[in-house]
Amino acid sequence: MSAQNPFLSDWTREFEMPPFELINDEHYADAFDAAFAETRAAVAAIVDDSQPTFENTIEALERSDTLMDKVAGVFANLTGSNSNETLEALQRDLSPKFAALNSEIMMNEALFARIETLYETRAELNLIDEQARVLELYFKRFVRSGAKLRGADRDRLKDVLQTLAKLGTQFMQNLLADERTWFMELSREDMDGCPQFLIDAAAQAATDRDIDGYVITLSRSLIVPFLQFSPRRDLRQKAFEAWGKRGANAGETDNRDIVRETLELRKERANLLGFDTFSDFKLEPEMAGTPDKVRDLLMAVWEPAKAAADADATVLGEMMVADGIDADLAPWDWRYYAEKRRAAEHDLDEAELKPYFQLDQMIEASFDCANKLFGLEFRELDVPLYHEDARAWEVTRDGRHMAVFVGDYFARSSKRSGAWCSRFRGQSAMDGEQRPITVNVCNFAKAPAGQPSLLTFDDARTLFHEFGHALHSMLSDVKYAYISGTSVARDFVELPSQLYEHWLSVPSVLEKYARHADTGEAMPAELLQRLLAAENFDMGFSTVEYTASALVDLAFHTETPPADPLQKQAEVLDRIGMPAAITMRHATPHFAHVFSGDGYSSGYYSYMWSEVMDADAFEAFEEAGDPFDADLAARLEEHILSAGGSKTAEELYTNFRGSLPKVEALLKGRGLV
């Protein structure tokens, strides 16, 4: 099998691209078996080595998972973006094995003794700054993973971590199953009142499912415009309720018990490691540091956002009355009447705007901004990829290869919802220059054959957001993979992505790239002005739905784990005075950020924490009078985008801007002051 398994031989394609056309589902199991064995053998060799040095311990650990990174880099991406039953079954089998291997390494007494010795004598080792940082992070990771536990506590933590891994995988697969299987078939008459771009997208979704007619799915790119434009209140309610019930439909895909058990086990994990709550444990290495600081930030934003949303709800309710509807404003009404209000107050019509936001043009816009700021150039590649919709570009600067960028933009049933940035390979320079292969995954509606795919302005913002993450990965310039690219504090990682969104709104960018799909004409100056003037429209709504989600996440992980998570969610929302016509952006049973793994658990606030910085950081360009100021762009790359986790987040930001910002920068940016 080894000779035939693409993972177990060198990849000789240009840029060492994975040979996707040779990789079959059956290759993964054998490749992972080999990777597990290689990693265990490498760790054993480290332990058996002589007196510990940075090279024979830390650098050797960096090399210990070379094959694992190679296999998992492909597998993890495909289980999110092009999954199937075989991959999902293997994912369920592998998740506890990964957790077991991690515990086996992190709780290896002899290995930790070597790292502890190095850490305690670090002042005598003549380490460069980056090596000292890597050593510190390894030491802290081992301690936080239970390296100092003994006996029953150590065994129990291993069991807890394996169970949490299983639960996170099952949560995500349940959610994907609900999103994959639900759709609403509609007739042409049911689509009356909807703009043509939505009708076309619903027709394409039906075609994709071999259905005659029109289909609304739970993909955000379909359901959100349906909620915005459909005059059929009954259909809006049906779609919204299905969207909100993902993960809570009873049966095999119900996530409520998974959430309950996850919260209990996270609390136990924190207690075993000496922390009162899971939030105390999770936030210790982040910029925020403590739950109180997170709560202070969220509540500072919550009050003005709720006041704005309450005022907006009154206006929207009056619009409903004017339409002859004798009912309270409901969540399935908000987007519909907000869109009508935007059209009336700002003279903006999504059907008029959307032809100016062609996907290909927005991709080019994101590339052009990267060129102006950082000198990057993009050449599309003709290479085999894992799906026919995915595309790849070589990224260069002054003739030097910097990265391969993969874009996978369209929604499909094999892809989980949302948008994200990941990588098939990360950057490092420990054993020669290794440049990254970075991927952006989105869920935009695919246009019918022969027509350009169109985005909303929010879709275009998502594209820029994820490309900001990609730049963080592609511009990384450190020696050790452990701190490369996006390997930074969770509440710092969203800074590059949210900052990059600002360049979409630069008038010169839109003047060049917002061109009509039919005529090729630039967006009229007067329409562009109206679009930019309305950027903060309905900001109370979007801030409330996000902040409520972050506050529920925080409460889950600072308070006693609830017997009924949905009851606890309701109590938290009642406590903060959640407006009745707005729901959480991510209700608990489909809150994948928090429950599909550890990433954003007790950390959903991170987007807002980073937004305080991104508002302040872009203000630096505004103060310079040029959004493409060369000196500032160079500082941004040097101190943030290329630096990875080589310093603390506070140091990185202060080196760029001079000081840390205050929450007023965010409130000003959102128009909530």
3-state SS string for 397-453: ECCEEEEEEEEEEECCCCCCCCCEEEEEECCECECECECCEEEEEEEECCCCCCCCC
CB atoms within 10 A of CB 499: 26
32 touches 94 (CB < 8 A): yes
Give the contacts of 368 (CB within 8 A, at least 6 positions apart).
509, 512, 513
Residues facing residue 475 across a β-bridge: none
| DSSP symbols for 292-324 | HHHHHHHHHHHHHHHHHHHHHHHHHHHHHHHTT
208 SS3 class: helix
Cα–Cα dist 41/62, whole Å = 14
- Kindly give the interhelix angle for 129-144 and 109-120, rounded to the nearest 10 degrees: 140
| DSSP symbols for 94-149 | HHHHHHHHHHHHHT-HHHHHHHHHHHHTGGGTT--HHHHHHHHHHHHHHHHTTTT-
- Give yes or no: 619 in active site: no
Residue for token pair 């760790």:
43
Set 62, 466, 501, 637: catalytic member = 466
User: In this structure, what are the phi and psi dihedrals at residue 229, rounded to the nearest 5 degrees?
Assistant: -115, -25
Beta strands 183-186; 420-425: pairing state: unpaired
Report how far apart, in Å, the C-alpha atoms of 485 and of each of 268, 642, 646 are: 32, 7, 10
DSSP letter (8 states) at residue 515 = B
User: In this structure, what are the phi and psi dihedrals at residue 366, rounded to the nearest 5 degrees?
Assistant: -65, -35
Cα–Cα dist 594/220, whole Å = 19
Q: Is 425 exposed, middle or buried (0-12, 13-18, 19+ CB in 10 A)?
A: buried
Residue for token pair 């006693």:
560
Residue for token pair 């061109």:
515
Give the contacts of 608 (CB within 8 A, at least 6 positions apart).
297, 298, 301, 546, 547, 550, 666
| Encoded tokens for 45 | 């060799």
Cα–Cα dist 315/322, whole Å = 11
Report how far apart, in Å, the C-alpha atoms of 657 and of each of 373, 483, 621, 638, 669 are: 17, 21, 11, 12, 17
423 SS3 class: strand
Residues facing residue 403 across a β-bridge: 395
- Rounded to a whole number, what is the distance in angstroms from the first to the last CA of the chain? 64
Farthest CA pair distance, the chain: 82
391 touches 406 (CB < 8 A): yes
Cα–Cα dist 561/259, whole Å = 10
Q: Which of 435, 427, 378, 434 is nearest to 407 (CA)?
A: 378
Residues catalogued as catalytic: 466
